[in-house]
Structure 1
Amino acid sequence: MPQSRRCSPLLRVVLPCLLLAVVATGCARPAPPSSPDDRPHVLTTFSVLADLVDTVGGGHVRVESITKVGAEIHGYEPTPSDLVRAQDADLVIDNGLGLERWFERFLNSVDAPHVVLSDGVEPIDIRTGDYRGRANPHAWMSPVAAQTYVDNTVVALSGLAPEHAADFEANGRELKADLADLLADFREDLADVDAAALVTCEGAFSYLARDAGLRESFIWPVNADSEGTPRQIRDVIAFVEENRVPTLFCESTVNPSAQEQVALATGARLGGTLYVDSLSGPEGPVPTFLDLIRYDLHTIAEGLAR
């Protein structure tokens, strides 16, 4: 007859607990499996475009951005995981106008239809620096040019999911109306501004300046590895002094040290941070594309009115 084994004090405590856990697990209802998301998958190059497309899509498409919030878009280096995500895409969308210098190589590895949202925008050429003669790529910062982005999105999504075309068109009309209202308010805010000149770190506001009739200066035309050369800084200092510009601005994804030198030399103040290439997080000031435009217009108008 086998010899009986006496449980240790520790096991006498642990075993009942284990039995209770097993019983509880067996009686509990298994968690329902998560339902697959079978909506068309749209991949955009950066967060601003992702939200614009998502707004027009109205929940009928699943939209992702290749780059994360806060990323510098011009010289981004795609990762292997980016390529993996892209294999599932039903549509890939970029800005165009030379903004995403890395995107052509990325697109060669992706088997999905491709749409350029800036198609049809009247480009503004860069007149200084290494990018002289190329199109300024920041057209989405213009409430006028951004309406072309919206129209292109409506067409692209209607081709992808034609059963929801009426919703896409309605969402697009609403977004375009909101953009037009923001520009009208901005022009009204600038009506009594003496120094109608906008000075930024990057030349990302040329299209907005055209919309609003603002003179414009910037330290560098497009974010690059070398920013704020002595000559660039001297030129901006001269512009600020000549136009008596009260407030200077810089963008969220760049180092403001060069603009700080301009402020120190001229006595102009630094205004709030402007957002261009990236949205903020959900708790930040610009969680959506429309918030970004609204926030920047308000920040600029408030700064120039001082």
Structure 2
Amino acid sequence: MVVVLSIACSACETRDLPDRPRVLATFTVLADIARNVAGDHADVSSLTKFGAEIHGYEPTPGDLHKAADASLVVVNGLHLDDWFERFLSDIDVPRIVASDGIEPMPITEDPGTSHATGKPNPHAWMSPVEAKTYADNIARGLARVDPDHAVDYRENADRYGARLDVERARLLTAVAALPDNERALVSCEGAFSYLARDTGLTEHYIWPVNSEQEATPQQMRRTVEFVRDRHVPAVFCESTVNDAPMRQVQRATDARFGGTLYVDSLSEPNGPVPTYLRLLRHDLSTVIGGLTGMDGDRVAP
């Protein structure tokens, strides 16, 4: 790894910055938000590919070269992309933490309790409210490396924030129409805490934010009991984790498997969630459609 870092640092000493800032985000959702803020004034790319599992990702030598050639690196923070941040101190490139200023929600081992792990839940972008902070932070970071277009970045972030307000209103309206027992979001991983908080959904998950672990018998039993006791009509799982445990929960209860939700990664451009705004709409329609047994696109247009 020492050799890799020395190569990266050598690259940063000789790099020629392009006419337009080159922005590197650690994953596709961040890159899409940054793209909306940057507009035509910067080139934005994602370090990880579409569909990638970003928890515990291992950077490659090529990734470090990309960072060394960037004008600005955007990380999520909240310990999500520590796998990359630890290398940035060895690379001379400006960096911003998109989640700066957000009050983090704690990760709890047991949903519905206060048994916090002491670590923050990193999925703050799943709240349209918090995503506006992401856009604001990115606008400030871009203005720092490209002050000539600072006003444009600010205006782009404001326009994007208005679109996020529309998505938030859509979420609130759809959830408000659900019966109490259907206002529950049961997923594999605890990735929806911020969204559930903002919309009044009760979140339950098999495991907290740790996609590499296997579901324990206690976690499975707890989830089955929650679904049965609440008469939750549908359960879900995220696209980047194994849905087999949730399929077991579904078979052990009267719930149906409501579909796949997207959190950590966008899809390919021709897939169901090519942008962050489309991700929010897809997840909303999937959740509402699964819980009600109706066409999600009709329930949550």
- Report the residue type matching 1:139 in the other structure: A
| 2:56 matches 1:71 | no
Partner of 1:6: none
- Cα distance in 2 for partners of 1:248, 1:101 equals 31
- Report the residue type matching 1:282 in the other structure: P
- Cα distance in 1 for partners of 2:236, 2:18 equals 42
Partner of 1:225: 212
Instruction: Provide the secondary structure at the position in 1 that maps to 2:259.
Output: coil
Partner of 1:19: none
Conserved? CA contact 2:98–2:133, under 8 Å: yes
Conserved? CA contact 1:248–1:271, under 8 Å: yes
1:140-167 CA distances to partner (integer Å, 9 max, x unpaired)?
0001111111111111111121111222
Q: Which has the larger radius of gyration?
A: 1
**TM-score, scaled to structure 2:** 0.86
- Give the one of 134, 146, 163 matched to 2:131: 146
Instruction: Provide the secondary structure at the position in 2 that maps to 1:43.
Output: strand
Higher mean C-alpha displacement, 105-114 vs 231-240? 105-114
Change (3 A) 1:131 1:257: farther
Conserved? CA contact 2:73–2:96, under 8 Å: yes
Gaps of 5+ in 2: 1-16, 294-301
| 2:107 matches 1:126 | yes
1:153-198 CA distances to partner (integer Å, 9 max, x unpaired)?
1111111211112221221111111111111112111222111111
- Cα distance in 2 for partners of 1:113, 1:214 equals 38
Partner of 1:272: 259
Partner of 2:42: 61
| 2:233 matches 1:243 | no
What number of residue pairs does the alignment pair up? 271
1:194-223 CA distances to partner (integer Å, 9 max, x unpaired)?
111110111100000000011110011113
Partner of 1:103: 84
1:272, CA displacement in angstroms?
1.9
- Cα distance in 1 for partners of 2:53, 2:36 equals 23
Partner of 2:288: 301
1:148-297 mapped onto 2 (5 Å cutoff) = 148-194=133-179, 195-297=182-284
1:42-61 mapped onto 2 (5 Å cutoff) = 42-61=23-42
- Give the one of 72, 87, 95 matched to 1:91: 72
Conserved? CA contact 1:118–1:148, under 8 Å: yes
- Cα distance in 2 for partners of 1:91, 1:246 equals 45
Greater fraction strand? 2
Spell out structure 1 runs of 4+ moving beyond 3 A: none
**TM-score, scaled to structure 1:** 0.85
- Cα distance in 2 for partners of 1:101, 1:288 equals 24
Gaps of 5+ in 1: 1-35
- Report the residue type matching 1:171 in the other structure: N
Higher mean C-alpha displacement, 98-107 vs 88-97? 98-107
1:121, CA displacement in angstroms?
0.8
- Cα distance in 1 for partners of 2:91, 2:247 equals 42
- Report the residue type matching 2:117 in the other structure: R
1:58-114 CA distances to partner (integer Å, 9 max, x unpaired)?
021111111111111011000111111111111111000111131232213321111
Percent of aligned positions with the same letter in both sequences? Answer: 55
